[in-house]
Amino acid sequence: MKEYIIALDQGTTSSRAILFNKKGDIVNIAQKEFQQIYPKSGWVEHDPQEIWSSQMAVFTEVLTKSKTKLESIKGIGITNQRETTVVWNRRTGEPIYNAIVWQDRRTADYCAQLIKDGHLEKVQEKTGLLIDSYFSATKIKWILDHVKGARKLAERNELAFGTIDSWLIWNLTNGEKHVTDVTNASRTMLYNINDLSWDKDLLKLFDIPESLLPEVKSSSEVYGETSTELGSRPIPIAGIAGDQQAALFGQMCLKKGMAKNTYGTGCFLLMNIGNKPVKSENKLVTTIGWKIGKEVVYALEGSIFIGGAVVQWLRDELKIIKKSSDIEALATSVEDTDGVYLVPAFAGLGAPHWDPNARGTIFGISRGTTDAHIARAAIESIAYQTHDILKAMEADSNTKIKELRVDGGATQNQFLLQFQADILKSTVVKPKITETTAMGAAFLAGLAVGFWKDLEELQALWQEDKRIESNKSMKLAKNLEEWKRAVNAVIYWSNHS
């Protein structure tokens, strides 16, 4: 009988299930989108029950499509959108409010007040994070403060909090297991990444009872089994990692100094910094990469809010291309941008600037500027933003990055990958299987149940598809100076409004 590992990849806009075989190949994929809820400007919510039902639907679909019986599934790995916050009733299993999504900004003013009151240093020291509404702590506090009767229920130990991994496992085990792993815990702004425990001082600061919180486990172990309500045979749930850490692991960035960039709607860069946390002096966050056995690996992370989304903007709003894949031909129809720089700060600037008030701007337009120059400037902006974060990572970690492993939709664009290699003066490597997030979750689960023996066996499964070397003859120092000037002008504009 053939044996498989299944990865449940619960993302921001869709739930997916991916079946992997022993060689690390994808056997089948099922995907289902779910509703995005926007109750007010800056608020983003999901229905937790819809997340659960969509995840179960794709789980069943992938088995049906590949004609696979439950007996063939040796383990389940879970990877999830991070920071998204669910609070539910332990007795009924019902959420007391919608899931508040990582993108949600409703607690931004409260976060600004915490910074003003001088809490930033303490929070960063303990959690590796900057105070921001992005993380879970202020979302939990908001639910407890705004849902009628929530605080009373919490004081009576009747409520449970979880990121999406915890919510899925609670349901998969029919309420028997309330757990998370270190990677998700490290995104809550409540978890001390130095001593690996929920932090009493931070729980007091945010007024959150500890009884709400899940038990924190490693990223690769058997947490429990699926309840028999889901099928005749229980399956071990054996791997958990937040999506970006799962991608770092799936890209086999196992050595200190190895880094990956996921080019999605935004871009997420993570760099393995070894077994000790490093405090960022450049507005990056320090996070836990994974924990296997007793070994904890830490990572530096930087987020770019607008990556591939800049191409969607050219397609949907400016309508200068019909489909996203048209961008490459248009951009390469001109030799350069003719001095045009596009700073895509549509949702503010992420790392290493963290300016929420910044807005998108195009500089250097002349009478001769065409749609091709703007298209080329848009693609280059993704590479420039990546460059800025990687340079900050090199400074924080005191480690030079030799190669950047890449995944995500925009890696189809050859021009982007070549320009990225040139601007970094470093090698860009694209793997054969770009579903690295799901692959990371599958690898973690497979290790725990002995489906794969060890890290060496996993490394042998990871294969590169393309290696893009930097073109050393490219003189790009002036371009970087002009890019920096453009970003500084955007920041000046946002601070002088």
Closest CA to 303 of 412, 378, 377, 392: 392
Q: Where does residue 70 fall: left (phi above 0), alpha (psi -120 to 50 degrees), or beta otherwise?
A: alpha
Alpha-carbon separation of residue 135 from 82, 144, 280, 426, 488 (angstroms): 8, 16, 17, 32, 27
Determine if residue 106 is labeled as part of a ligand binding site: no
Is residue 218 part of an annotated ligand binding site? Answer: no
C-alpha span between 52 and 428 (Å, rounded): 37
Ligand-binding site membership of 308 (annotated): yes
Cα gap 367→99, rounded to integer Å: 48
Sequence-separated (6 or more) residues with CB below 8 Å from residue 357: 348, 494, 495, 497
Distance separating alpha carbons of residues 450 and 458, to the nearest angstrom: 12
Residues 6+ apart with CB under 8 A from 18: 6, 7, 9, 26, 28, 29, 62, 435, 438, 442
Known binding residue 127? Answer is no
CB neighbour list of residue 492: distance below 8 Å, 6 or more residues apart: none
* Enclosing H/E stretch for 167: helix 164-172
420 is in an annotated binding site: no
Q: Is position 13 annotated in a ligand binding site?
A: yes
Annotation-wise, does 265 bind a ligand? yes
Find the radius of gyration of the CA atoms of the chain: 22
3-state secondary structure of 248: helix
The answer to whether 264 is annotated as binding is no
Residue 113 among known ligand-binding residues: no
Of 322, 331, 306, 345, nearest to 418 by C-alpha is 331
- Write the DSSP symbol of residue 48: H
User: Is 134 part of any known ligand binding site?
Assistant: yes
81 belongs to an annotated ligand binding site = no
> What single-letter DSSP state applies at residue 472?
T
411 known member of a binding site: no
Adjacent-strand bridge partners of 9:
16, 79
Annotated binding-site residue? 21: no
Q: Which two tokens stand for residue 95?
A: 């959420």
For residue 275, the one-letter residue type is N
* 413 annotated ligand-binding residue: yes
Binding residues for ADP, by number, are: 12, 16, 265, 308, 409, 413
Binding residues, by number, are: 12-14, 16, 82-83, 134, 243-244, 265, 308, 312, 409, 413
Binding residues for ATP, by number, are: 12-14, 265, 308, 312, 409
Binding residues for sn-glycerol 3-phosphate, by number, are: 12, 82-83, 134, 243
Binding residues for glycerol, by number, are: 82-83, 134, 243-244
